[in-house]
Amino acid sequence: MSLFHPLRDHRRKALAEVPFPSAWAAIIDRNVPYCRSLSTDERARLEGLVTVFIAEKHFEGCRGLKISDEIKVTVAAQACLLLLNLRHDFYERLESILVYPDGFVYESEEHGTDNIVAVAEVPVMGLSSSGGAVALSWPDTLDAARSPGDGKNVVFHEFAHQLDQLDDAMDGAPALSTPAQYREWARVLGAEYQRLQSETARGSPSLIGPYAATKPAEFFAVVTELFFEQPQALQQQHPGLYEEFRAYYRQDPAARSGESHD
């Protein structure tokens, strides 16, 4: 990550210090109730991140959708929640956020026998690309943002994929600080992933859910959703997993959710 660039950093600092528009603050209050659990200092830092994120990323409306401040701020606030305490470069590989007026499809190739390739259209709410773009369904984005606690959040999910790929591999292991941290991450998440696959094969219910068992990258993204949306349940049922995500994101949403901030 190119984390040090004097001119860029000066510009970002200046942007973050501009008074946050009251209309944008109202959008966060209305659409991202999760932010009510942030401390005053955390909220101020989040607003600075949102300002820089919106200045640097290109938002594009698809199928006639007109991009508004409500769309930009709602998406940015959730994306920047993941960055709140991370050492980061504002998702440096991400250039564009494509926003659709409803769900959309992408073409998935399946290679069968005799080299036959079948193309299937898969309906999705969001999609993260290694080519510098995230695509989101606006209704699903808004519904997820306004429903904290249900364990589902398309922005958390897709931007977790963006974090995952910053070390050049979308493999369920984001960029970590030390070899020891990588070893512990592999030990804990490897065991939890295998456990989930076994539970899924048996048809046993799981907090994490079967989609996370499809590949390690999806496991990381789904657990990120749960970490922020259902942190106490994740901590109770998967304490080792919760601790790894607490150490990575440098946040403790389980403790935060039990507090009240004005």
Query: Could you report the per-residue pLDDT of 70-113, keeping only the tens digit for each?
Result: 999 999 999 999 999 999 999 999 999 999 999 888 766 565 56
pLDDT of residue 262: 41
Distances (CA, A) of 210 to 88, 136, 230: 30, 22, 17
pLDDT of residue 16: 87
Q: What is the CA radius of gyration of the chain?
A: 19
Q: State yes or no: pLDDT of 222 exceeds 50.
A: yes
State the pTM of this model. 0.91
Name the maximum alpha-carbon separation found in the chain.
63
Closest CA to 247 of 159, 176, 189: 176
Q: State yes or no: pLDDT of 118 exceeds 70.
A: no
Summarised one tens digit per residue, pLDDT across range 141-182 is: 999 999 999 999 999 999 999 999 998 889 999 999 899 999
pLDDT of residue 104: 82
Summarised one tens digit per residue, pLDDT across range 1-34 is: 456 688 888 898 899 889 999 999 999 999 999 9
Residue with tokens 């920047």: 80
**Structural domains in the chain?**
171-262 (3.40.390.10)
* Section 202-228 average pLDDT: 96
